[in-house]
Amino acid sequence: MTDENQPPSGASVPPQQPVPPPPPAPPAAPPYDAAPPPPPAAPQYQSAPPPGAPAYQPGYGAPAAPVPGKTLGIVGLVLSLVGLVIIPFAASVAGLIVSIIGGRQSKAAGVPNGPAKAGLIISIVGIVLSIIGIIILIVAIVAGTSALIATCGDLGPGEHIVNGVPVTCN
């Protein structure tokens, strides 16, 4: 009887490779009645600053210092705009004065002040337009008065109707 696992007689047998060991078994699962793992630790926060300490957090920087004259520059700008639209001459003059003061304070601190410069320019424009308007109003009043005097000179004293408008001449 011949063994099937044995090579035939006279044949060379190749060397056998060793069999690797089986992989390790996975770790055993915890039993169901075991306690769950503890939760992760809570993050640590900084404590409140002591009384009298600055309210800002370190690393964020201090709040920016106010620009000297900036508020006056904004007020001057608003007054100059009011002078253009609502109160022609008085608000423009007030806007000019406040804008000059705000601009000088900012210039002394070495910082630019755009609202003060804009208020200064708009105030000057408002004052010039107000002066032109006053001149036109005076010219219109003088022209109207001189025309009325000429009409009364032609018509004589009394009450007259000129172009549907009653005119009283003395």
Give the number of other CB atoms < 10 A from CB of residue 36: 6
Cα–Cα dist 76/118, whole Å: 9
Q: Tell me what the pLDDT averaged over the chain comes to.
A: 84
Q: pLDDT over 90 for what percent of the chain?
A: 46
Per DSSP, the residues of 49-92 read PPTTS-SSPTTS-PPPPPPTTHHHHHHHHHHHHHHHHTSHHHHH
Residue 160, by phi and psi: left (phi above 0), alpha (psi -120 to 50) or beta?
beta
- The pLDDT value recorded for residue 90 is 95
Would you kindly state where each structural domain of the chain is located, as residue ranges? 70-169
As a whole number, mean pLDDT of residues 23-45 equals: 75
Q: Nearest CA to 119 among 82, 70, 77?
A: 77
Within its chain, how far is the Cα of 36 from the centroid? 53
The pLDDT, as a whole number, for residue 25 is 78
What is the pLDDT at residue 17?
A: 75
